[in-house]
Amino acid sequence: MKLITAIIKPHKLDSVREALAEKGVVGMTVTEVKGYGRQKGHAELYRGAEYQIHFVPKVQLQIGVDDNVCDEIVELIQSTACSNAIGDGKIFVSPIEHVVRIRTGETGETAL
Amino acid sequence: MKLITAIIKPHKLDSVREALAEKGVVGMTVTEVKGYGRQKGHAELYRGAEYQIHFVPKVQLQIGVDDNVCDEIVELIQSTACSNAIGDGKIFVSPIEHVVRIRTGETGETAL
Amino acid sequence: MKLITAIIKPHKLDSVREALAEKGVVGMTVTEVKGYGRQKGHAELYRGAEYQIHFVPKVQLQIGVDDNVCDEIVELIQSTACSNAIGDGKIFVSPIEHVVRIRTGETGETAL
Amino acid sequence: MVSDLSYALDTFYFLVSGALVMWMAAGFAMLEAGLVRAKNTAEILTKNVVLFALSCVMFLLMGYSIMYPGENTGWIPNFGFGIGAENTAEAALSGAEDAPYYSMRSDFFFQVVFVATAMSIVSGAVAERMKLWTFLAFVIPMTAVIYPVQGYWHWGGGPLKELGFSDFAGSGVVHMCGAAAALAAVLQLGARKGKYNKNGSANAIPGCNLPLATLGTFILWMGWFGFNGGSELKVSDVGEANAVAQVFVNTNMAACGGAIAALLMSRAYFKKADLTMVLNGVLAGLVAITADPLSPSAEASVLIGAVGGALVFVSILMVDKFKVDDPVGAISVHGVVGIWGLIAVTFNNSEATLSAQLIGIAAIFGFVFVASSLVWFILDKTMGLRVSEEDEYDGVDISECGLEAYPEFSKR
Amino acid sequence: MVSDLSYALDTFYFLVSGALVMWMAAGFAMLEAGLVRAKNTAEILTKNVVLFALSCVMFLLMGYSIMYPGENTGWIPNFGFGIGAENTAEAALSGAEDAPYYSMRSDFFFQVVFVATAMSIVSGAVAERMKLWTFLAFVIPMTAVIYPVQGYWHWGGGPLKELGFSDFAGSGVVHMCGAAAALAAVLQLGARKGKYNKNGSANAIPGCNLPLATLGTFILWMGWFGFNGGSELKVSDVGEANAVAQVFVNTNMAACGGAIAALLMSRAYFKKADLTMVLNGVLAGLVAITADPLSPSAEASVLIGAVGGALVFVSILMVDKFKVDDPVGAISVHGVVGIWGLIAVTFNNSEATLSAQLIGIAAIFGFVFVASSLVWFILDKTMGLRVSEEDEYDGVDISECGLEAYPEFSKR
Amino acid sequence: MVSDLSYALDTFYFLVSGALVMWMAAGFAMLEAGLVRAKNTAEILTKNVVLFALSCVMFLLMGYSIMYPGENTGWIPNFGFGIGAENTAEAALSGAEDAPYYSMRSDFFFQVVFVATAMSIVSGAVAERMKLWTFLAFVIPMTAVIYPVQGYWHWGGGPLKELGFSDFAGSGVVHMCGAAAALAAVLQLGARKGKYNKNGSANAIPGCNLPLATLGTFILWMGWFGFNGGSELKVSDVGEANAVAQVFVNTNMAACGGAIAALLMSRAYFKKADLTMVLNGVLAGLVAITADPLSPSAEASVLIGAVGGALVFVSILMVDKFKVDDPVGAISVHGVVGIWGLIAVTFNNSEATLSAQLIGIAAIFGFVFVASSLVWFILDKTMGLRVSEEDEYDGVDISECGLEAYPEFSKR
Ligand SMILES: Nc1ncnc2c1ncn2[C@@H]1O[C@H](COP(=O)(O)OP(=O)(O)O)[C@@H](O)[C@H]1O
Ligand SMILES: Nc1ncnc2c1ncn2[C@@H]1O[C@H](COP(=O)(O)OP(=O)(O)O)[C@@H](O)[C@H]1O
Ligand SMILES: Nc1ncnc2c1ncn2[C@@H]1O[C@H](COP(=O)(O)OP(=O)(O)O)[C@@H](O)[C@H]1O
């Protein structure tokens, strides 16, 4: 099993969620994060002083998936989250060794 | 070493923390996340419009553990966080290759 | 490729970001988390009742890096984030199998 | 003698005072919204707006006429409806001894905002777990009958008046009355989930927005100048003007005394300046002086307020020991300190007697507690008092109001 | 007869009323800040502070003299500048029938805060997408000319006055006027991104801070006692004092009626107590009674307010159907209910005729709508009405004000 | 001549004004709570509540009698205690030229809330790093002695009065006085950690809650009508009523001028509408007009306020250059602009001379600065001024109050 971690622009969250739901992905966990990358922050003002905000709000999705659908899902996220503008984000795929569904104690792929 | 990532219901956090502390787990990192899964969100109102909230507040625990206690801890989390109700959450276990304690520079298991 | 996950004290974020930027690390993702560890929380008051806050605010950095610079970056984070005080945090390194830059669809190291 | 101008001035003074008391509704709303958790905020705001609206309507329809029947008929007042006719200019300017000297409508306006104050006190105590609709159902008998009946006993010229009971602006009639209904509610309702541990110890459940709670306290403080200041009922000659000024000064100084006492207690016990205790201290000072803000000197008022502030500190700790879960401290602030205020009247006001005060306290507290217990009991059996455990856990905002108070800000 | 004291009392009453109306500026600021998203909060706060300042300056320079030219010159008033000279003591105390009985400056103060109220209504409707500087540019012609001209028609003794149009405190002159300008703006401006789906359905865009919105509503409620109460213009004899008291009572009762009606509608439709609807119900009750808070009984005022509250519920749902995106509901609350208030005058005030009311509604609405459409059109062609899509997405706080309203709290 | 009614009206006017000034305490609390970081919010709220309470008590015990000794004894006033006896009806109605025309208690009430205003100014400047208990210790000598002594010099009929120094409502006596004590504090206290970089440049430390800061500004704006309006001290004849009305209008117009000037400066420099600057502009306009809100025309008041607004913009940038770290801008708003206000008196008030104004400025500023420097120095050596670096980093809420202001909302 794999854990897909995708960092996307916040306003893309709804379309990605819908696209994934259509593909049958029924679970994911979302975290609000801040990103630092090629897309720079912006200057802000405060009582006459200008200062730099380095981080940009992003949303991070974590999705545990079965090995054989992983690539397909990564692609779907990429295409849905892409706006061709800088700061669109990244997708990381890493291995998971073990999964448990807390409610039932089920493990492995059926637990996803 | 393993990284245990557990997504649980927020009101279970205290019992899980206590149960783990009793077992000698002295460290963990907690993030507020939102979950999407079998447990659906709920409808909300706003000035006469109803709309759907798709995400449910959850809490994510990350715990770096030694290989040989991993299973035991996963089981403890599962049994403590379980309320037999939908939306109880998941536990993912993934490999860690390297750990450093920032304060001392120690690495490996002693750093946990 | 590796994913470096560093949990540090919030006020160290700026120095770590600057140190990494100097070394050419152009991307990272930051999450506000709460930590539980050797550094205990503190007692708070509320209308005449004292109670224990078990978690301490921390910041979590996630940085996807190329294998060959990983150690160097871990070391840099460790030395910059270290204040020799309890609660300085941890660094975990875990494997990544696949990376995608959403904007371009690039994969692998060039996507970082 | 009543002239066009003195009538106008007294009426205007009443209306300004009434507007200040109305403003206290905002104070209670902010105070309570600041002291509950984020997930219960929208519901308590809704409650505070609607209880004000309902109280005004019920008091218009029935309450006012019950409370001011115009004659002493013993413990049971005449029941009636409406608010009667306005004074004619002839009557006002007749030169008669008992000529009306302010507008009847201004009197109603001033009185009606008091009722809402009493109801607001209940609202805070039952926060975070009571069903909204049940609470609103309670507002109706409380403001149409229960409050007016005991109000008649003293202010309406009823038996407590006759007995010499003395409560200038309502430490008893308004504050203790609200607290008695609140206590009746809390005893039947039970504590919030997670408030008390199995071993009997209490957990703190911190309010989510202390700036709001502080704002609410300042609003109440300001509104209290109308509450007490207007209760002199007349400003239009030198003696009355001096009296109103004394009331303003004493009201303010008692609040100051309460704040300082609560701060010092907090420092002595915890070595910290517990803001929530200081806010309760301010309110305690205000409640304490309300029973007689005219007789004491400014210095004595500081002391009366300070005792109130110290008392509220102790009372809040005690109430928790008895597992009476009162999220905003309303029972201590308005009930315990209200009693203190009524007793303190006897120190400065030579016309007041301890026995009359105690009888009044017993009568008001007893009647309101019993009558509201009965109403709560009936409501429990019909509508139910308490939201489901799951709704309580998710917050009553979603279950009762269908929305969130702070939808964009993440919560712990 | 005017005496030193009656002059002083009427002036003081005017000033207190004016201070309460000024306070409504804070109410609008808080209401609107609570009902927008966090990312657009600083901009709407800036807008509310600056529109008040600009309105006052423009009304001082031109508006007041246009609105109160002192004679009826038909639909087009005399244009002039400044606020004229203060009354002399001689004139006031001359004993003449038409001797001035309050300070001219107090009149200006009372009037100037009304203008700002009308402008604040526009501010909410265009929230979250209009350019700040364009909005501020609109304030100038609106408060210097458009508002004063129609104000002159009725309150300045112009043709609507002559026709028998009756609008006591401004359901039409202030509230519907503001709503007409708001509607003109929204039609040219378009909806917020993401408000309407391709299939025509509307999305909810919840306001970020309901305690602020509730506070704003309470502030407006309190300020309205000045708004309506001061519009009696005189308090200094028995008849006038009774009238002012009646106005206070009716204003309050209408707000209560509005709240309760909106609550019941919300319960009937959604089984929930939608706080945002209750708040709109309060405001609707207040707007409804403003056209005549003197003639109805207190009970009738509850009903007038209740119809307003029910109407605003329906109107908000309808307005969304027409894809008119009004983030705070200003067009429904002030426009639709303002019209209701003007019509309701005829039920209780025998001097008002339906035809005169309808002519007045048509004249004010028509003129303000056309005139402001023109101004918005010109502004669109010159400065542009709307921020860029990206700025709208990131929030206008950053693009217009360069700062964030809640920089430390994380957002969804 | 003083009649029952004029005495009543002037007293009531005083009390209403005093209640409005008391309300400014809430304004300062909200303003400051909005401009600090979330982690220092509970402490600043506590400070604002307690400083008000302490100021009132100290001014009651000593300050009032020092400030109004009833005779000119040169630079050193008589020291005394208490607030004296109330006027008798006989004295008031004696018909004597100097018969008291309002209640002594109403005068005390009005004065006491001014003291708290001066103290609140200090509170903001030392925010986020001073020990709470040290600050509270400073309140005692400041409000019992330092403020009253310089207050006596002018308002108490002392030497500055004799010299012809003119400060209607306290640009100097209240605002500059507070700013002088604040400057003395900040110089000894030092800047917040992280405010200035090694290379001397300043970092912005944004306030966490701009809606609160805006609310605070509106509260102060409203309260200022009491502050300036009440300082006319009498309303009960045509001339006085006109004067009070003029004061209301000018106070409002100056605030508007300040807001617009600050906005335009912000646009000129940054191309953005910096809300925090606009808020400071409002306050600057108000401070500027306070020294003489009676003599100028409404139009001139706009200008006086506008210069204040422009000045505060420049001053805030300058103060940062000198590494004087003033988190809320109190020294600029109340000090620099207070001086401007005192000088501006000479433009419109023919009785004021520049030399008298400058002497007054030097005397008040010099005395307060030196006296408070001394007190701060002693406090530094005994209790310590500053929290530990760690406590400052974690926020003074935890270390001083033991609680958090927003415990549920996560922070950056
Ligand atoms: N090496 C990295 N490790 C972790 N997160 C990264 C990394 N690089 C970028 N990110 C995340 O991806 C977001 C977008 O990256 P950015 O460089 O701005 O744009 P793009 O990916 O389009 O070139 C960043 O804001 C950050 O959250
Ligand atoms: N595939 C997944 N990847 C990541 N997180 C998941 C996944 N499935 C579920 N979750 C998380 O677990 C939570 C509970 O899942 P849910 O399907 O609602 O209940 P249950 O696990 O009891 O069937 C979700 O809210 C989400 O946070
Ligand atoms: N086993 C662990 N797994 C995950 N996070 C941990 C673990 N141990 C510590 N942490 C994180 O590191 C932080 C610092 O750890 P702590 O034990 O307090 O100090 P130190 O690392 O200096 O001994 C904790 O607050 C927590 O966020």
Instruction: Enter the ipTM.
Output: 0.95
CA of A76 relative to ligand 1 center, distance in Å: 18
Residues 6+ apart with CB under 8 A from B69: none
- Check if F3 contacts E (Cβ < 8 Å): yes
pLDDT tens for E261-293 read 999 999 999 999 999 999 999 999 999 999 999
- D205 by DSSP, 3-state: which? coil
pLDDT tens, D86-135?
999 999 999 999 999 999 999 999 999 999 999 999 999 999 999 999 99
- pLDDT band, very low/low/confident/very high, at D182 (cuts 50, 70, 90): very high
Non-local (6+) Cβ contacts of D198 within 8 A are none
**Three-class secondary structure of residue D291 per DSSP:** coil
Per-residue pLDDT of D275-310, as tens digits, reads 999 999 999 999 999 999 999 999 999 999 999 999
Determine contact, residues F66/F148, Cβ cutoff 8 Å: yes
According to DSSP, residue C57 is labeled E
| β partners of residue B32 | B59
Q: How far apart are the first and last CA of chain B?
A: 9
Which two three-digit tokens encode residue D281? 């201290």
Q: Distances from the Cα of D97 to the Cαs of A2, D89, D93, E239, E242, in angstroms?
A: 92, 15, 10, 20, 20
pLDDT of residue E411: 54
Search chain B and give the residue with CA nearest C79.
B102
| Res C38 pLDDT > 90 | no
B63 touches ligand 3 (CB under 6 Å): yes
Using alpha carbons, select from C25, D290, E106 the residue that is nearest to residue F250. E106
Question: Is the Cβ of F202 closer than 8 Å to some Cβ of chain A?
Answer: yes
Q: Which residue has the tokens 């040169």?
A: F74
C91 lines ligand 1 (CB under 6 A): no
Q: Which of B30, B100, B112 lies closest to C55 in CB terms?
A: B30
Q: Establish whether residue C38 lines the binding site of ligand 3, counting it when its CB lies within 6 angstroms of any ligand atom.
A: yes
Measured in angstroms, the CA of F327 and the nearest CA of chain A are apart by 10
Cβ of residue D53 closer than 8 Å to a chain B Cβ: no
From chain C, the residues in CB contact with B64 under 8 A are: 90, 92
D300 CA distance to ligand 3 middle (Å): 56
- Site to probe by mutation for ligand 1, drawn from A39, A58, A86 as the one with most ligand atoms within 8 Å of Cβ, is A39
**Choice from C1, C5, C28 to test ligand 1 binding pocket (greatest atom count within 8 A of CB):** C28
Those residues whose C-beta lies under 8 Å from the C-beta of residue D366, and which sit 6 or more positions away, are: none
Instruction: Summarize the confidence of residues E238-258 as an average pLDDT.
Output: 98
Q: What type of residue is A38?
A: R
Q: In this structure, is the dihedral angle defined by the CA atoms of residues F53, F56, F61 and F67, taken in order, positive or negative? A: positive
- pLDDT, residue F410, reads 60
CA distance D63 to chain E (A): 14
The Cα–Cα gap between D112 and E268 comes to: 28
Which of the four pLDDT bands, split at 50, 70 and 90, describes residue D267?
A: very high
Greater confidence, C53 or A78?
Answer: A78
Q: What is the pLDDT of residue C41?
A: 73
- What is the pLDDT averaged over residues D389-407? 93
The DSSP secondary-structure symbol of F59 reads: I
Q: Does C34 touch chain B (CB under 8 A)?
A: yes
> Is the CB of D256 less than 8 angstroms away from the CB of F9?
no
In the structure, what pLDDT confidence band is assigned to residue F135 with cuts at 50, 70 and 90? very high
Largest CA distance in chain B: 58
pTM assigned to the model: 0.96
Nearest CA to ligand 1 atom 25: A35
Q: Cβ contact (<8 Å) for A50 and F270?
A: yes
Q: How many CA atoms lie within 13 A of A94 on its CB side?
A: 21
Which residues have CB under 8 Å from F211's CB, separation 6+?
A: E30, E33, E34, E41, E45, E209, E212, E405, E406, F34
CB contact under 8 A, A29 and B35: yes
**Alpha carbons A107 and B5: distance in angstroms, whole number:** 14
B1 close to ligand 3 (CB < 6 Angstrom)? no
Other Cβ atoms closer than 10 A to F358: 15
Number of Cα atoms under 13 Å in the Cβ half of residue E208? 21
| Model confidence band, residue F412 (pLDDT cutoffs 50, 70, 90) | very low
Q: Is B44 on the interface with D (CB under 8 A)?
A: yes
Torsion angles phi and psi, residue A8, rounded to 5: -130, 175
Is there a contact between D412 and B32 (Cβ–Cβ < 8 Å)? yes
* E327 DSSP assignment: T
Q: Smallest CA–CA separation between D313 and chain C, in Å? A: 7
Q: Is the CB of C64 under 6 A from ligand 1?
A: yes
Average confidence score pLDDT of chain F: 96
Partners of chain B (3+ Cβ pairs below 8 A) = A, C, D, E
Distances, alpha carbon D226 to alpha carbons C108, D235, E40, E314, in Å: 72, 13, 37, 37
Delineate the domains of chain F, giving CATH numbers in brackets: 4-409 (1.10.3430.10)
Counting one residue from D and one from F, how many pairs have CB atoms under 8 Å apart?
A: 199
Which residue, among D192, D191, D211, has the nearest Cα to F407 in the 3D structure?
D211
Binding-face residues of D in 68-127 toward E, CB within 8 A: 82-83, 86-87, 89, 92-93, 102-106, 108-109, 112
Residue A41 Cβ inside 6 Å of ligand 2? The answer reads no
CA D266 centroid distance within chain: 25
pLDDT score, position F381: 98
Note whether A52 contacts F: Cβ–Cβ < 8 A.
no
Q: How far is CA D71 from the centre of its chain?
A: 26
Q: For D343-370, b where at least 16 C-beta lie within 10 A, e where not — what string? A: bbbbebbeebbeebbebbbebbbebbbe
- Per-residue pLDDT at E412: 41
> Which pLDDT does position A41 carry in this prediction?
73
Residue A111 CA, closest ligand 2 atom number:
21
Q: Per-residue confidence at F411, pLDDT binned at 50, 70, 90?
A: low
| Burial bucket for residue C87 (CB in 10 Å: 0-12, 13-18, 19+) | middle
Supply F321's token pair. 């250059």
Q: Which residue of E has its CA nearest to B48?
A: E317
Ligand 3: centre distance to CA A96 (Å): 22
> Which whole-number Å values give the CA distances from F67 to B102, D51, D246, F76, in the listed order?
61, 46, 20, 10
Q: Mean pLDDT over residues E105-113, rounded? A: 96
> Whole-number mean pLDDT of chain D?
96
Mean pLDDT rounded to a whole number for chain B = 91
Ligand 2: nearest atom to the Cα of A65: 1
CB D233 within 8 A of CB F91: no
Q: Quick check: F202 and A49 CB within 8 A?
A: yes
Q: What is the pLDDT of residues E325-345, one digit of tens each?
A: 999 999 999 999 999 999 999
Find chain C residues with C-beta within 8 A of D277's C-beta. Answer: 47-48
Closest ligand, as measured to the CA of B112 = 3
A61 lines ligand 1 (CB under 6 A): no
Distance (Å) of CA D273 to CA D34, D262, D279, E335: 18, 9, 11, 49
pLDDT value at position D411? 55
Cβ of C112 less than 6 Å from ligand 1: yes
Contact partners, residue F362, CB within 8 Å, separation at least 6: none
Please tell me the predicted confidence (pLDDT) of residue F81: 93
Task: Give the pLDDT confidence score for residue D412 in this predicted structure.
Answer: 42
User: How far is F291 from F176, CA to CA, in rounded Å?
Assistant: 11
From the CB of C6, is ligand 3 less than 6 Å away? Answer: no
Q: Where are the alpha helices (DSSP H) in D230-297?
A: 238-270, 275-290
Query: CA of A106 to nearest chain B CA: how many angstroms apart?
Result: 10
Q: Which of residues 49-68 of A touch B (CB under 8 A)?
A: 62, 64
Q: Of E221, D218, E124, give the one whose Cα is nearest residue F219.
A: D218
Of D189-203, D217-231, E72-86, minimum mean pLDDT range: D189-203
**Closest listed residue to residue A50, CA positions, set E401, E395, E115:** E401
Neighbours of chain F (3+ CB pairs under 8 A): A, C, D, E
Residue F45's closest CA among F412, F410, F396, F409? F396
| pLDDT tens, residue by residue, E114-154 | 999 999 999 999 999 999 999 999 999 999 999 999 999 99
Is B54 close to ligand 2, i.e. is its CB under 6 Å away? no
CA dist D342 and D131 (Å) reads: 33
First to last CA, chain E: 64
| Nearest protein Cα to ligand 1, atom 8 | C27
In this structure, are residues F305 and F284 in contact, taking their beta carbons and an 8 Å threshold? yes
